[in-house]
Amino acid sequence: MRHLNRIILSLLACSILSAGATSTKARAAEAPFKKVMILMLENTDYDEAVVLPFLSQLAKRGALLTNYHAVAHPSQPNYVALISGDTSGVFLDFNSNLDRGHLGDLLEAKGKSWKVYAENYPGNCFLGGSLGKYARKHVPFLSFTSVSGNAGRCARVVAAPQLDKDVASGTLPDFSMYIPNLDNDGHDTGAAVADKWLAKKFGPLLLNSNFMDGLLFVVTFDEGEHDDTNRVFTALYGAGVKAGATSDIETSHYSLLRTVEDAMGLGTLGLNDEQATRIGGIWQ
């Protein structure tokens, strides 16, 4: 009888594990998008950004998060938080060298690709703090030594012109970030300039099926400028997004990370992403 009970318990355990695995696969299969690109702009309050011509149209064509917040000041902690689930003790904009996990680890563990397209990036794993209009602090993967100290992984950070080649060849990665230079992200010029640049650069791409096939395109800001709540504009456009939807659920950069993790079946980094509110109310 004891032997029989052990067999029954073993079969039940296998059944539960199998059901859990099936459920995880089903959730991944039902994800509203297959790929993600996140584009970060700079230092602008929600109220200023939401009325700009291209951003307001993007929000109407896609979905707008009206209660989305950055997590820190100044810029760099927000970039680090977005891909690692924590600011990791980064509280200034100096070069950081962090020995800990990040989104790239989760993606690679599941056989998924990632890449960063950075404007004015000189290539060859350049680790200087800045060069012309390029700023390393806005390229968060380079803040992690598992990337900066690994030639193969560092090669995933590329100069921005590579994007057009990847679109043409149909080789966009599963996850990507597009990092504008200090003029185009509004850091040195203001949000209105960033809005005009975004319309010129990404307006045509959003109509390009090679670019948009299965893609969720996200535009957000690293931080607010004057709003004490650090509320920033965030719009989502593309695969699975209900056009014209808005959500007033309180979310943050950690929420965006958690949403990507869940949709791609990556698991979490076990930090602030673990408890973060997922982005909801905007999906078809």
Hey, how many other C-beta atoms are within 10 angstroms of the C-beta on 127?
12
- Three-state secondary-structure class, residue 59: helix
Q: Residue 18's pLDDT is what?
A: 40
Average pLDDT over residues 251-262: 98
Q: Name the strand (E) or helix (H) holding 268.
A: none
- Three-state secondary-structure class, residue 171: coil
Active site residue 164: no
Q: Residue 85's pLDDT is what?
A: 98
- The dihedral formed by the CA atoms of 109, 281, 219 and 278, expressed in degrees to the nearest 10: -40
Question: Which strands, in side-by-side order, build the sheet including 63-65?
Answer: 157-159, 114-118, 175-179, 35-41, 215-221, 234-238, 63-65, 245-247
What is the tens place of the pLDDT at every residue in 173-226? 999 999 999 999 999 999 999 999 999 999 999 999 999 999 999 999 999 999
5 pLDDT band (50/70/90 cuts)?
very low
Hey, how many other C-beta atoms are within 10 angstroms of the C-beta on 3?
7
Mean pLDDT of the chain: 91
Would the pLDDT of 37 be above 70? yes
* Dist CA 214 CA 239 (whole Å): 5
Q: Residue 32's pLDDT is what?
A: 86
Q: Residue 129's pLDDT is what?
A: 98
What is the tens place of the pLDDT at every residue in 102-156? 999 999 999 999 999 999 999 999 999 999 999 999 999 999 999 999 999 999 9
Q: Residue 208's pLDDT is what?
A: 98
Return phi, psi of residue 235, to 5°.
Answer: -125, 145
51 pLDDT band (50/70/90 cuts)?
very high
The fraction of the chain above a pLDDT of 70, given in percent, is 89
Would the pLDDT of 27 be above 90? no
Catalytically annotated residue among 188, 213, 227, 262: 188
3 pLDDT band (50/70/90 cuts)?
very low
What is the tens place of the pLDDT at every residue in 215-229? 999 999 999 999 999
Q: Are 143 and 90 in contact (CB under 8 A)?
A: yes
Give the list of residues 6+ apart from residue 4 with CB closer than 8 angstroms, or none: none
C-alpha 53 chain-centroid distance: 23
Q: Does residue 159 come out as left (phi exceeding 0), alpha (psi in the -120 to 50 range) or beta?
A: beta
Average pLDDT over residues 33-61: 98
- 68: its two tokens: 């989305």
pTM of the model: 0.90
